[in-house]
Amino acid sequence: MSDDAADVQRVLSGDVDAYAKLVDRYYDRCARFAIRMLGNRDDAEDALQSTFLRAYRALGRYQERDRFSAWLYRILVNQCRSIAARRSHRERVFVREEALLLNAPDKTPAWTGEDEEFVQRVLNELDPLLREAFLLKYVEELSYEEMAALTGAGVSALKMRVKRACDRLRERWERIRDD
Amino acid sequence: MIDPELDPDIEWIAREAKRAVAVDPMAVERVMARVRLEPRPRVHDLRWRWIVEPRSLPLSPLVGAALAAGLVGIGILLGHSQIDRGGQTTPTGRPQAVAELRPPLAPHDTVIKFVLVAPQASTVAVVGDFNNWDAQATPMTRTPTGGTWSVAIPLHAGRHVYAFVINGANGTTQWVADPTAPLAPEDGLGAPNSVVLVGGSAS
């Protein structure tokens, strides 16, 4: 039994402090995804609090044959989606047609002098579904099959999102370099 | 190198995005403060899981034959029940759905059947607060006769927010509300969700 599965069993047996080990083990990695995905720390904190609270409530449904990290990430991805969707009236991204998503116009952020801030701003300008796919693939380094299990989207759609995200990032990069 | 096919500019962006972020040292404590106010995770879900999960049982040929005969009978009963609800389906191809109450499974649970008509879909799932909006957790099953998808799940008494995730044959994914159910108030700010009230009257 993995450390995660053992801690889950302890929580289900009534040892709530065992859950602190799970939270501590995954908080930093989840925080990185939430901040990169949502673009600000307040929304990311909301997503993280909600994710770990929901995961605790649903712990009885966790199945040991799944990796705990993958199960937790499914909840996190969905919480980030919910917060992003609530944040803006115009972000109805999860009911869009794929064709509209992949051909949406974009803007170019200005160089700010700070690499991390610049990268965050470039990521923020991507459509949320493209940003999500890029982060899961190249920051969290998941396989397309793992991404499909997390997001509910098909592998071919995810490959297209990642490709389009890379194209958009490259276009911005070249524009900035040429300026 | 993250990906041998990734060009250097994209790789640089990915590498920067991978840098660890500064985390408030009290953040884990804040999570745990909220968690400690929660009741212990519900273990009766495990009992339901035991019922619905596939498993292997050693059977003698005689017992197997008897069980097979019994399952045929159950199948006929279920088929009859499905015919009785045929009025829910429409030939228009537009998704239609209804959350249908059945007798309680456990003292505080009620089995809710979600039904959606989506003939063009390749897969459909129901997502909601009851499954952490997990599009993999509750797949719906297509009826043998057409484009109606359904799934029955036990829900605790109270208000539940949900939606359907429709995967099309062309690789598209759409989150849609139940066209026959009330919309959740949050829908005005984002993706559409529906509401089902279990074990109480609508308000």
**CATH number of the domain that residue B175 is part of:** 2.60.40.10
Q: Indicate the residue type of B27.
A: A
Q: What is the pLDDT of residue A82?
A: 82
Please check whether residue B17 lies inside any domain of the structure.
no
Instruction: Write out the CATH class of domain A93-179.
Output: mainly alpha
CB contact under 8 A, B41 and A60: yes
Q: What is the pLDDT of residue B151?
A: 92
Higher model confidence: residue B166 or residue A48? A48
CB contact under 8 A, B40 and A139: no
CB contact under 8 A, A28 and B41: no
- Closest approach of B104 to chain A, Cα-based (Å): 20
Of B17, B170, B173, the CB nearest to A139: B17
Place of tokens 């139940």: B178
The Cα A8–Cα A122 span in angstroms is 38
Domain ranges of chain A: 1-91, 93-179
| Residue B8 pLDDT exceeds 50 | yes
CB contact under 8 A, B14 and A91: no
The Cα A50–Cα A46 span in angstroms is 6
Helices (H) and strands (E) in chain B, counts: 4, 8
Mutate to test the interface with B, among A94, A129, A168 (most CBs of B within 10 A): A94
* Residue B143: φ, ψ to 5°: -70, 150
Of B31, B135, B137, the CB nearest to A23: B31
pLDDT digits (tens, 9 = 90+) for B20-61: 888 888 999 999 999 998 888 865 444 444 444 444 444 455
- What percentage of chain B carries pLDDT values higher than 70? 56
- Listed as own residue / partner, the contacts of B46-52 with beta carbons closer than 8 Å and 24 or more positions apart are B46/A60, B48/B105, B48/B109, B48/B154, B49/A61, B49/A63
Over residues B91-102, mean pLDDT:
47
Per-position pLDDT tens, chain A of length 179:
678 989 998 998 999 999 999 999 999 999 999 999 998 888 899 999 999 998 998 887 777 667 889 889 989 998 898 888 776 533 443 434 444 444 544 444 444 446 677 788 889 889 888 999 999 999 999 999 999 888 888 899 999 999 999 999 988 877 776 66
Of A56, A95, A169, the CB nearest to B13: A169
Residue of chain A with shortest Cα separation from B2: A138
Domain count, chain B: 1
pLDDT digits (tens, 9 = 90+) for B98-135: 554 444 455 667 888 898 888 888 889 998 888 877 77
Measured between beta carbons, which residues in chain B are less than 8 angstroms from residue A75?
A: 132-134
Can you read off the two tokens belonging to residue B150? 């359904």
DSSP string computed for B69-102: HHHHHHHHHHHHHHHHTGGG--TT----EEEEEE
Q: What is the pLDDT of residue A143?
A: 92
Please check whether residue B47 lies inside any domain of the structure.
no
Lowest mean pLDDT across A79-83, A173-177, B5-9, B68-72: B68-72
Higher model confidence: residue B190 or residue A67? A67
Place of tokens 């099309």: B168
- Confidence bin at B185 (pLDDT 50/70/90): low
Measured between beta carbons, which residues in chain B are less than 8 angstroms from residue A116?
A: 16, 19
The Cα B137–Cα B29 span in angstroms is 29
- What percentage of chain A carries pLDDT values higher than 70? 80
Domain membership of residue B183 as a residue range: 90-198
Over residues B162-191, mean pLDDT:
70
CATH code of the domain occupying A1-91: 1.10.1740.10
Measured between beta carbons, which residues in chain A are less than 8 angstroms from residue B42?
A: 57, 60
Closest CA to A174 of B8, B4, B3: B8
Asked if B176 and B164 touch (Cβ cutoff 8 Å), the reply is yes
Closest CA to A80 of A133, A158, A153: A133
- Closest approach of B1 to chain A, Cα-based (Å): 11
Residue of chain B with shortest Cα separation from A76: B132
Please check whether residue B156 lies inside any domain of the structure.
yes
A22 burial via Cβ count (<10 Å: 0-12, 13-18, 19+): buried
The Cα B178–Cα B193 span in angstroms is 7
